[in-house]
Chains A and B, each alone.
Chain A
Amino acid sequence: MKNLISYIFLIATLLAAVGCKPERKAIDNPKPSVYYWRTTFSLDEVERKFLADHKVGKMYVRYFDVVVNEKGVLRPNATITFKDSVPAGIEVIPTIFIVNNCVNQGIDTIAPLLVDRVLQMNETNDIKGVQEIQIDCDWTVKTQDAYFKFLEQVRQLLAAKGMKLSATIRLHQLAMKAPPVDYGVLMMYNTGDLKNSKQRNPILDKRDVEPYLKYLAKYSLPLCAAYPNFGWQLLYTGDKFRDILYSEDLSDTTLYQPAGNGKYVVISSIDLPNYLSSNSTYTYLNAGDTVMVVKPDATTLVQVHDALSHERPGINDQVIIYHLNNSSINNYSPSDYEKIFNP
């Protein structure tokens, strides 16, 4: 009967889509925004220039993760260290990533702890003017009830301090009940499967987005959208995916031969630092291996951006780029960024 319900929902959505123009539902106070997803807060000149050039008004800064430790207790992990100040005029939205396996481990007990910790981090690190917290979690049917209850608690605690709560929404979560937050950020990245990346772009592919567009118009939360600017270099031996390379210079023609469409053939074997391991181990590239460069091309990005606007006017009033990083900024031209920041 689940199929039946989905079908009824689909049909109802189709009728709505055919019969009426979607209502405009934007978030309050939208500004060009970025995610900051590193463990040390420090900006270089390129990153500062990017923020200034595009008049970025908000930074969603990952403060820490919540994980289950060895003793089965929920704990913060990988807390950010602030070694630099946030540029004046930019609002920080502390963002907390909650690993999904935490949710059914008594997450309702940590709501006040989490809020207090974030507020204290603001104070200790002189982060001023914080008006909102964001929670990021890849919740599922099985964890939904507990997660939503937790969000309600956090929202109440924040409301008492005049603050708001937002949450990330993955594409597949559009088909689920909306979380109890003030607004959602629709993640338009990591939409595909890395292992099948030769067929589709695992970062952003229209074919992976397509099935979910129908849910947009009726989704009950105010939404804004987050788009990727990062790219991957994927190493293959034959058809077998082996590794992700880290910012390898593929223009070195003594090592790589361009083969078109973002494909490079390794012509001389080399050992490279292994991006997949946190321990800086090596990846062996053998002559004959191929490296595929994948990043969402600007055309796809703009197409998806426009389709979202069409299906749900207002969703792009605020666009967030994931993520601010010197090595990713140049994946699009400044004018491409402007097309989605200020279309």
Chain B
Amino acid sequence: MKKSLILSLLAVATLQAWACGGWVRPNYYMFSVFNRDLMKNPFSQETKQYWVDYTGGDESAEYSCEMLDMVKPEEFDKSDNLILKTARKRGDTETLNYLRLLVKYLNNDGSDDCEWNYPTKEQLAQRKATIQQVLKQAQAYKGTKYKSQYALLVMRCNMTAENHQANISYWEKTASKLKDNVYKRWMKDIYAGALYNTGKKDKACEIYAELGDMTSIKYCMRKKRNLKGIKEEYAANPNSPTLIFLVQDFVNNTQETLDNGSDPEYMRYVEATGIYENEMNDFIVFAGKVLDEKKTKSPAMWEAARGFVNYMAGNQDEAIKQLTNAQTLDGTQRMKDNARACLMLASIKSAKPTDDYFDYMLGEYKWLEQKAGYDSNHVPADAHYQDVFERVTYDALVPKYYQWGMPNQATALLGMAANNSEYSSEYSCQLDTLSSSDYEGFKYYLDNGTSNAFERWVASYCSIDNTKFNDMMGTKLVREGEFQAAINYLEQVPLSYISEQGISYYMAHKDYNEVIWMKRQFLSFLNEENTPVTSNAKLQYCRDMVALDNQIANSSGEERNQLLYKKANMLYQASHKGDCWYLAHYQNGEYSEKLRSEYDFIGTARRLLMAAGHDSENMDFKQRCYFAQTFITAENYGYCVKYDYDWDAKKYTYSFDNEKYPHIRAMEILLEFANTNGTPNADYMTKCDIIKVFQQYNN
């Protein structure tokens, strides 16, 4: 089951909208002995194919078939639905008559619980009458070409009218004697529904299983989705088709419980039942019993099931042995493939980084690729094997590489899994967090450092072009405070490249020379869109920083203090708290923190302000330095007033939070200075409500 990516989204800007560090991987199910596509309508594809063939192989007829319910009966003769147009063009009256009746049914089958047009009373009455008309007309069909389709229409009308007994009779006396085709299977499915609704639930489930209608089986088996249910079904029939669903469901629920058992709302959302340790152990024992009894025709499924449950229970040796053995036992090819995929995942847990193991992995990854059947857009024909690929890669092999001390290999694997995507992937986030030297090392690894066939195969999916490399190296060096070194890389980055990045919106609108504690530059990330830039602000920032450092080195007195103040602001602006965070980061958000290997922009800014204020004899300037420090401490240590609610007195109580001491102290220093030597009525002081309240409270 897919679990949506849950990210810290609040006020997250760019890296094309996703924040790094909050990835929650979908917990794709590993165990798959029937294709999940069977959970869709098992008859729709074949019925659509009839119309594709009818229109001369036009694939869009599939869509036209789906859209037949949108055709209004009164517009039938003018409709531009491909199927109707084709029949009209051919003058195919028999087909048109059938379609006219089908459209009439589809417009009145009551499936508008999910439609915006809610029926009137008259429409409801009219519908009932129309369904009866369609029923009579369908029953009256005497031809042969659409005999099955008309018979299906009869049963659909009875189903809509909730006349289940009529459907049971019709199936037994008429429909069951028609020729075998998709319509007959569909009718049998409706018959099973009628049995279910008249209390013959076991018989209904058996038919659903025979037809491969896994959605209906899931509904029928909803009270047996546990080991007790599996045992009952097995006792009744060791080869009951329902067991394929129940066993797969059990193993998947075990995986779901391990992954998300602590999240009951999510468990409910995916309709999973919790499977815990005692049931896992009981299942392992029961599967062994099934295999010993040799009554099952699918030992490959049972062996793989107990092998994978053993893996999840931490019984690694048994898991490997059983998953290997399952591939040699009787069962469908999918059951054997399932065992192979599960073994691939299980093997990683006890693997050693040997050439033999990497050769095995290369073979298995290529097999997965082949089973997935990717098209030219990298869309898999069978999504299950893509899911296996992701689970094996993200949840097992990448962490294993880190455990083995092979970070470049792990990063490359992320790159392969993301299809080298630069945006919104774990790969792009991983690249973003590397230090400049690690990033340079990774580039070298991709170009020259792979040491076996598997690594070379993985690396072939990843590439870092020179522009991207220069931009990222330059940015990382800014982040590390290496402004001179960054210039060399940033000079080689074309403006067109930056203009295509998410940060261009912020770069185009925010100026790092604006003094942040005097004026904020707010921009809503909701309006974020790539914006052409006329200069690379990162490059200019580095040049300004280098020049500023030279000026500071050659200055003294008040001039030097002013320059330190300027530098403090520029440093703060580039921090994750600054308005111009884009200078050193690719993304930022409410909960962003200082990155690993990031220069201490904020601490340094504060120290520069302390030095500038301390040395200055300009009272106005000194006060601005103190004011800036209250801003920085509040932003980085939190505000110093805390509040609680007194439920008896029904009022808030206030107190100083001593843990926020830096802010208290900065505020005290500012106010003491302003009231003795400074200008307490300075514009920026009187506009600040925090100062007002602090003064009031402190008094």
Binding site for B on A (CB under 8 A): 1-4, 7-8, 10-12, 14-15, 17, 69, 75-79, 110, 113-114, 116-117, 120-121, 123-124, 140-142, 145, 194-195, 206, 210, 213-214, 237, 240-244, 271, 274, 276-284, 286, 303, 306-307, 310-311
Contacts and interface: CB of A to CB of B under 8 A. Distances in A.
A40 B88 CA distance: 44
Interface in B228-246: 228
A24 B462 CA distance: 65
Contact of A274 (B124, B228, B273, B526): B273
B639 A7 contact: yes
Contacts of A78: 113
B222 A1 contact: no
B271 A277 contact: yes
A14 B654 contact: yes
Interface stretch (B114-122, B175-183, B547-555): B114-122
B228 A240 contact: no
A283 B268 CA distance: 12
Contacts of A15: 693
A67 B350 CA distance: 45
A79 B116 CA distance: 11
Contacts of B113: 76-79
A17 B272 contact: no
Given A237-B276, A240-B261, 20 more contacts: A3-B634, A3-B635, A7-B639, A14-B652, A15-B693, A79-B113, A113-B116, A142-B10, A145-B526, A194-B265, A195-B263, A241-B262, A243-B274, A276-B267, A277-B222, A281-B226, A282-B273, A284-B226, A284-B276, A286-B276
B522 to A, nearest CB: 7
B520 interface: yes
Contacts of B692: 11
Interface string B551-592: 000000000000000000000000000000000000000100
B516 to A, nearest CB: 8
28 contacts: A1-B635, A3-B634, A4-B635, A7-B690, A11-B692, A69-B114, A75-B116, A78-B113, A79-B113, A113-B116, A114-B116, A120-B118, A124-B118, A124-B121, A141-B11, A194-B264, A195-B263, A195-B264, A242-B261, A243-B264, A271-B226, A271-B228, A276-B268, A277-B271, A281-B222, A283-B273, A303-B647, A307-B650
Interface in B598-645: 631, 634-635, 638-639, 641, 643-645
A142 B9 contact: yes
Cβ-closest 3 pairs across A and B: A279-B222, A276-B268, A113-B116
Interface in B82-139: 113-121, 124
B306 interface: no
B643 A10 contact: yes
Contacts of A123: 120-121
- If over half of A's interface residues share one DSSP class (helix, strand or loop), that class is named, otherwise mixed; here it is helix
A130 to B, nearest CB: 14
Given A10-B643, A123-B120, A17 B651 contact: yes
A148 B118 CA distance: 25
Contacts of B522: 1
Contacts of B272: 277
Contacts of A113: 116
A123 B119 CA distance: 10
A306 B115 contact: no
Interface of B: 9-11, 113-121, 124, 218-219, 222-223, 225-226, 228, 261-265, 267-268, 271-274, 276, 278-279, 520, 522, 526, 590, 631, 634-635, 638-639, 641, 643-645, 647, 650-652, 654, 689-690, 692-693
B11 A124 contact: no
Contacts of B276: 237, 242, 284, 286
B264 A241 contact: yes
B563 to A, nearest CB: 25
B226 A282 contact: yes
A301 to B, nearest CB: 13
B222 A280 contact: yes
B225 A279 contact: yes
Contacts of A279: 218-219, 222, 225, 271
Nearest to B263: A195
Contacts of B635: 1, 3-4
A72 B437 CA distance: 44
B403 to A, nearest CB: 27
A276 B121 CA distance: 36
Given A7-B690, A8-B689, A17-B652, A124 B634 contact: no
Contact of B124 (A124, A237, A271): A124
A51 to B, nearest CB: 26
A116 B120 CA distance: 12
A276 B264 contact: yes
Nearest to B645: A210
A213 B645 contact: yes
Contacts of A240: 261-262
Contacts of A213: 645, 652
A117 B116 contact: yes
Nearest to A63: B118
Nearest to A2: B590
A271 B228 CA distance: 10
Contacts of B526: 142, 145
Given A14-B643, A15-B693, A75-B114, A281 B273 contact: yes
Contacts of B265: 194
Nearest to B253: A281
Nearest to A286: B278
Contacts of A79: 113-114, 118
Given A2-B590, A279-B218, A8 B690 contact: yes
Which residue, A117, A120, A145, has most C-beta atoms of chain B within 10 A? A120
A10 B119 CA distance: 51
Contacts of A282: 223, 225-226, 228, 273
Contacts of A77: 113-114
A121 B124 CA distance: 12
B219 A311 contact: no
Contacts of A3: 634-635, 638-639
B268 to A, nearest CB: 4
Contacts of A69: 114
Nearest to B527: A145
A1 B579 CA distance: 9
A279 B267 CA distance: 12
A240 B526 CA distance: 39
A145 B590 CA distance: 19
A214 B650 contact: no
Nearest to B123: A124
Contact of A76 (B114, B631, B693): B114
Given A1-B522, A77-B114, A277 B645 contact: no
Contacts of B118: 79, 117, 120-121, 124
Contacts of A114: 116
Given A15-B693, A76-B114, A281-B225, A307 B634 contact: no
Nearest to A144: B526
Nearest to B218: A279
A195 B263 CA distance: 7
Contacts of A284: 226, 274, 276, 278-279
A76 to B, nearest CB: 6
B89 to A, nearest CB: 29
B115 A214 contact: no
A169 B9 CA distance: 21
Nearest to B693: A11
B652 A124 contact: no
A278 B271 contact: yes
A11 B695 CA distance: 12
A2 B522 CA distance: 10
Contacts of A210: 644-645
A141 B8 CA distance: 13
Contacts of A274: 273-274
B579 to A, nearest CB: 8
Contacts of A121: 118
A121 B116 CA distance: 11
